[in-house]
Amino acid sequence: MGSSLPNELVAVMERMDRRVLPKWGKLGFDSRRGKVLPDADEHAFQMLLEHDQVDPHPRTGRMFALLDCIPLGSEKGASWFVHGSELVRIADDAELAGPLATGLVTLKTTKQMPTTTAPFERYRRVAWLIELLANDSDVDAARLKRALANADLPPASSFAATPRAPSSELLYWLLRSLILSEDALFKKVLAVASKSKAPVLRSAITMVTASANPRLAWSCALDDLRALVRRLGPKSVSAPPKKLKSGDALAEDAFERLLAELKKAGRRTKAGRTRALLEESYGQTLPKDLGALVDAYATLKVDSAKVWGWKIAVELPGDDFESWVEAQQGEPETSSLCFVQHFANLVLVGHATDGDLFYAYVDPNDKAHSEVWWYDHEQGAVYGPPEADSLATLSLLSELAHSASKAPDEERLEPVLQQLVGKTPMRGHFREIVASVGRGINFEKKYEPKTPAARYFGRAKWVMNLLRDGYFDPAAIKKALKAEKDRKLPSPQAIHFAPEALYWLSRSFWLNKDAELQALIKLAKKSRLPIVRSAALTFDALQSGRRELGTLQDVHEVRRDLLGSLGKVP
């Protein structure tokens, strides 16, 4: 408060019963001038509560503190207050009983005096708190329950007050965050409210910070009030505060829920050999999360299952090189669906709602997690950064996106999103979560990809085009070759890793590096990977004179045209 009252109201106040006004003078209200004056009393808030404990018309102290309503007097069954430039009447029997239109009446004192709905709106918001700070030794549970049910609680994230905000507004947020155990919000409000000069607010700060369990009502300390709210309030305010788990723990919980949903849909008694076949194709044990997803998926009788908008599907890449190439040749020109598997070491794990795909990287350096990459079906490419650092994080993102699309709950979702910083760049298919909830969270700059899937895919793009339909772009190929960090043949161990082995076999053939190709073919025939051994046989036959490769009728003619357009190549 602190502003002068209209002269018309001052005149009305002087004619009304002012039996209670002297009491409020101690708190800074000067009835003679209609102004709230500064007051240095450090016990102002306690005085308000004590007044309510003995006054025949309780609530006046709490109304003064929480609603900017200055008490004028009382009559049978009601109390009168000044709110801004209008008089308001609070009926005792309708204080917390329901719709406030029946309990709060605005009285115009002159024709020119405006009437607003502010008292109605603010009273509805703070009524539960006014009732909670009760005047007797036993809080009326029924009245408090009705007040909580009718409460119009804004989300915690909507707090945006400044030290210039009304002290009643700051006091409301201070008490609300304290009682509802909104610790982060309480610290934020306390920092702002501490700069206020309002005596009631300053004394309230002293009270709530002087003890870990301050006594805010006649016989109820803070812990008692918290228990009452949890017991009587609706779910939106009654859940006991929980310490938020780490991002890893939250993601793992979501992944377990996703696996449970898959297993519910499962009908096969035996999962089959899907995991074993994948491990044979990629030449290594699948990371733990990918293995668990594959096992759950393998129990399905159908080809896919949709959980939270994520259409889960796992696909075996194929181990015969020529069949693999022919399968890709049958796809649209912009597609790389088959090639992306072995050329980038990725396993298909599902489809997004817009037709794009999710691939999990089979990381030889991480036995626990598979980083998830996004394949753009329109561009036929794997783009970075990845979608998530693991399948567990992808599960949580899918669940959050599903929840946000059904019933956005910013207050609940934002703390969870904060825990995911560093685990996802929050791009691609989950941007809508950031747009609707986590606008102030910087995900992208704090995420570092840990696997090179996009680099492998980008490097091999030109050989994929040649294998698919003989297409080549000389300028793009020169740029790709120039960008290669290491033009040396891979080590003998790399022949057991498909992205390296297949790229260098293809590169050596199309650039007609015969000596390199022969050395690679010799190594590749001993690879642990079926796809690499098969590719070695195919390139050996092609280099020896065979012309056809699937729908390509003459690979040697394509190669001559390519080399003629490139000129000198590395």
Mean pLDDT, residues 450-467 taken together:
92
pTM of the model: 0.59
| pLDDT confidence band for 49 (50 / 70 / 90) | low
Cα separation of the two ends of the chain: 79
pLDDT recorded at residue 208: 82
pLDDT at 367: 93
Q: Which of 400, 343, 352, 355 is nearest to 372 (CA)?
A: 352
Which pLDDT tens digit goes with each residue over 378-394? 777 887 788 899 999 99
From the list 13, 142, 117, 122, the residue with the least C-alpha distance to 65 is: 122
pLDDT for res 38: 37
- For 208-217, 436-445, 504-513, 542-551, which range has the lowest pLDDT when averaged over its residues? 436-445
Residue range 232-253, pLDDT digits in tens = 766 555 554 456 678 889 899 9
pLDDT at 1: 42
Choice between 102 and 208, residue whose per-residue pLDDT is larger: 208
Between residues 111 and 522, the one the model is more confident about: 522
CA distance 163 to 414: 25
pLDDT digits (tens, 9 = 90+) for 54-70: 554 555 556 556 666 66
Task: Give the pLDDT mean for 10-23.
Answer: 45
Residue 8, pLDDT above cutoff 70: no
3-class state of residue 216 by DSSP: coil
Q: Is the pLDDT of residue 442 over 80?
A: no
541's CB contacts (< 8 A; 6+ apart) are none
Check whether 118 has a pLDDT greater than 80: no
User: Which residue would you say has higher pLDDT here, 111 or 153?
Assistant: 153
pLDDT score at 198: 78
Residue 464 has pLDDT above 70, yes or no: yes
Q: What is the 3-state secondary structure (H, E, C) of 102-140?
A: HCEEEECCCCCCCCCCHHHHHHHHHHHHHHHCCCCCCCC
Phi/psi at 213 (5° precision): -140, 65
Query: pLDDT band at residue 156, thresholds of 50, 70 and 90?
Result: confident
Q: Where are the domains of the chain?
A: 7-238, 249-446, 470-566
Render 55-106 in DSSP notation, one character per residue. Answer: -SSTTHHHHHHHH-EEEEEEETTEEEEEETTEEEEEEGGGSSSS-GGGTEEE
Block residue for tokens 């840990």: 450
Mean pLDDT over each residue of the chain, to the nearest integer: 75
Read off the pLDDT of each residue in 199-203 and give the average, rounded to a whole number.
79
Give the residue, 312 or 534, on which the prediction is more confident. Answer: 534
382: closest CA among 409, 347, 422?
Answer: 347
Handedness of CA 111, 68, 130, 177 (dihedral sign): positive
Mean pLDDT of 90-112: 41
Asked if pLDDT for residue 88 goes beyond 70, the answer is: no
Q: What is the pLDDT of residue 499?
A: 94
Cβ contacts of 499 within 8 Å, gap of 6 or more: 342, 343, 344, 345, 456, 460
181's tokens: 């155990």
The Cα 182–Cα 340 span in angstroms is 47
Instruction: Using pLDDT thresholds of 50, 70 and 90, give the confidence band for residue 119.
Output: low
Query: pLDDT exceeding 90 applies to what percent of the chain?
Result: 27
Q: What is the pLDDT of residues 260-304, one digit of tens each?
A: 888 777 665 455 688 999 999 999 999 999 999 998 888 887 777
pLDDT at position 228: 74
**What are 24's two structure tokens?**
């409020």
DSSP collapsed to 3 states, 355-381: CCEEEEECCCCCCCCCCEEEEECCCCE
pLDDT value, residue 294: 92
Burial of residue 270 (number of CB atoms within 10 Å: 0-12, 13-18, 19+): exposed
Helix (H/G/I), strand (E/B), else coil: 290? helix
Model confidence band, residue 30 (pLDDT cutoffs 50, 70, 90):
very low
500-533 pLDDT, tens digit each: 999 999 999 999 999 999 999 999 999 999 999 9
Residues 552 and 374: their CA atoms lie apart, in Å, by 29
pLDDT at 184: 84
Q: What percent of the chain shows pLDDT beyond 70?
A: 65
